[in-house]
Structure 1
Amino acid sequence: MLNFIPKVTFWDIVDILVVAFLTYRVFIYLSQTRAVQILIGLMVVLLLSAVAKLFHLYTLSFIFNNLLTIGIFALIVIFQPEIRRILARIGEKQFGIFTSEEEAERVIEEIVRACATMSEDRIGALIVVEREVNLDNYVESGTFIDGKVSKELLVTLFWPGTPLHDGATIIRKDRIYKSGAFLPLTLNPNLPQTVGTRHRAAIGITEETDAVAVVVSEETGAISISYSGKLIKNLDPSKLKKVLKGLLVKRVERRKFNFDLLRKSDEEV
């Protein structure tokens, strides 16, 4: 009597759950970008196409069918930044960049000391630490430095009136790679108007890559950190140090890091 019901195996259930999870994650990701409006428009076109077929409106069906055919290619172009980010996240190794605890301690300590000084003196700064994804394709211009990471050099680079103070400083491994670099700004429409250009650049580069960006506000002196497109504001030096260790150090230190700082902070935007 029930022979017409297909037999459902364990792997069929696994298959359905995996597809459902991936679809859910893609929709959640797209809902946080400008692509959500385009996605809604596409759904409206699909709905109208179904209605046209249901009521045998042949001319409308022809138009919508051609729109959908062209739309597949258009979507690849329109969603190109989002597709690139998703693929970058899939390929991301989720590792730190330092294997030596001593090397990590020194670089992180210099960054924290520099940020603490610039915070007190209200010196605006944007420091980007490169991880697995090379930043050369994302960083426009900038002056090649190749200097050892130190508090003194970082503060000097961002000191008001110096030629490089307006751009971002890029740290690669234990060296200051470039300074005065311009970064892509985030296109996230949900950010409040109070988020300034430095913070938008920090979010932008961490949306595109796995880099970590530290921002010091020129107006308030507040220290913020951005990773994976999230921004956590108002960090004191000790908390900044803890977050940097968690994101940049491999092995033992990484396991100690509490990632709830990136998800549950009241200051996250």
Structure 2
Amino acid sequence: MFDSIQWLIGIIKSIRINDIIDILIVATIIYYLLKFIIGTRGWQILIGLFILLSIWLVAKILHLPTIEWIFDNLWSIGIFILIVVFQPEIRRGLAKLGERGLFRYSLISKKKAIDEIIRAATFLAERKIGALIVFERNIDLENYTEGCVKLNAEISLELLISIFIPQTPLHDGAVIIRDQEVVSARCFLPLTINPNIPKNIGTRHRAGIGISEETDAVALIVSEERGEISLAVDGKLFRDLDPLTLRKKLIEVLEIEKPDFIGKLKNKLFGKKKWKK
């Protein structure tokens, strides 16, 4: 027991500041790579590669010569296969890195972007102009932007209002928000098939619920009939939200203000605030 403690102390003493920096840099790179890939087609491919690796290890253990030969030859060209398979993700990642840099702050804060969206939604609701705004979270919505009008524009009150004004080319469909940008407009989303949805819920609301069921996205819906603002989260619809409640809900679900240790402990002990549907 004493020898084990001495061995552990010896290892700790041998750790240099360079080793700590090295580990932190590698951990940060791995974190951002996983954060970038999770929820995309590349994540599914990565899982498939892990399954193939497991089969190869089993073949090694059980001494299956044919499977070993196949995988031994496959790994020799594996780097080229990975480049071809992950080509879209690599290209998109390098493009983002070139545009924004790794640690560059956005031109406007996340809270300011949320405030601009809420002001636009309130303006549209007061005039009973329908709107559907979708916030991308962890799962990439690239598949839903095909056939849409690419904007990649900074979020602003004027832009959102001009998009949803009737009789304009972009007013049909949804707007997709990624980070602090309006990525695409005139996007058409899958409708929910939940039979428990009330009959008086229209197509725009059903599309908002549908995208929140198929992905982890959050959808903000403005009703053109009732002039109310709703939020679809995880397949649930929170209706008739006032601007203050909407802001609190968006900040919570988009994790703009991540709780500190005390906040997390409070949430575990007392639970999160329940929102009225």
TM-score range, shorter chain: 0.5 to 0.7
The number of residues matched between the two structures is 165
Structure 1 residue 166: Cα displacement: 1.3
Q: Report the equivalent of 1:231.
A: 237
- What is the identity, as a one-letter code, of the residue corresponding to 2:258? R
Describe the SS at the equivalent of 1:215.
Answer: strand
Whether 1:135 and 2:149 are equivalent positions in the alignment is: no
Residue correspondence of structure 1 range 139-218 to structure 2 within 5 A: 139-218=145-224
Residue of structure 1 equivalent to 2:258: 251
Cα deviation, residue 137, structure 1: 1.9
Query: In 2, Cα distance between the equivalents of 1:155 and 1:228?
Result: 26
Residue type of the alignment partner of 2:259? V
Give 1:261 deviation, angstroms. 3.6
Q: How does 1:121-132 map to 2 (within 5 A)?
A: 121-132=127-138
The question of whether the paired residues in 1 share the 8 Å contact of 2:212 and 2:234 is answered with yes
RMSD: 2.2
Task: Determine if contact 1:138/1:205 at 8 Å carries over to the other structure.
Answer: no
Change (3 A) 1:242 1:225: same
Shift of 1:140: 4.7
Instruction: Could you tell me which runs of 5 or more consecutive residues in structure 2 were left unpaired when the two chains were aligned.
Output: 1-104
CA 114–261 in structure 1, closer or farther in 2 if over 3 Å, else same: farther
Q: Which runs of 5+ in 1 are unaligned?
A: 1-98
Residues 197 and 246 of structure 1: CA distance in aligned 2, closer, same or farther (over 3 Å): same
Report sequence identity in percent.
Answer: 47
Matches of residues 14-25 of structure 1 in structure 2 within 5 Å?
Answer: none
Q: CA deviation at 1:142?
A: 1.2
Following superposition, which runs of at least 4 residues in structure 1 exceed 3 angstroms of deviation? Answer: 252-262
Name the SS of the counterpart of 1:177 in structure 2.
strand
Work out the CA distance in 1 between the residues paired with 2:274 and 2:156.
26
Report the CA distance between 1:139 and its aligned residue.
4.1
Query: Per chain length, whose mean CA-contact separation is higher, i.e. which structure has more relative contact order (CA < 8 Å, sep 6+)?
Result: 1
Change (3 A) 1:219 1:259: farther
Q: Aligned AA for 1:143?
A: V
Q: 1:201 to 1:250 in 2, by over 3 A?
A: same
Deviation at residue 260 of structure 1 after TM alignment: 3.5
Q: By how many angstroms is 1:251 displaced?
A: 1.8
Shift of 1:138: 3.4
Relative to structure 1, the CA distance from residue 190 to residue 139 in structure 2 (aligned partners, 3 Å threshold; closer, same or farther) is farther
Q: Distance in 1 between matches of 2:145 and 2:119?
A: 25
**Equivalent position SS for 1:117:** helix
Partner of 1:112: 118
**Whole-Å separation in 1 of the counterparts to 2:172 and 2:242:** 23
Q: Measure, in 2, the Cα distance between the counterparts of 1:178 and 1:155.
A: 15
1:191-236: CA deviations, max 9, x gaps?
A: 1110100000000000011111000001111000011000000001
TM-score by length of 2: 0.56
- Confirm or deny: 8 A CA contact 1:118 1:155 kept in the other structure: yes
1:113 is paired with a residue whose SS is: helix
Give the distance between the partners of 1:198 and 1:104, measured in 2 at CA: 26
One-letter code aligned to 1:107: A
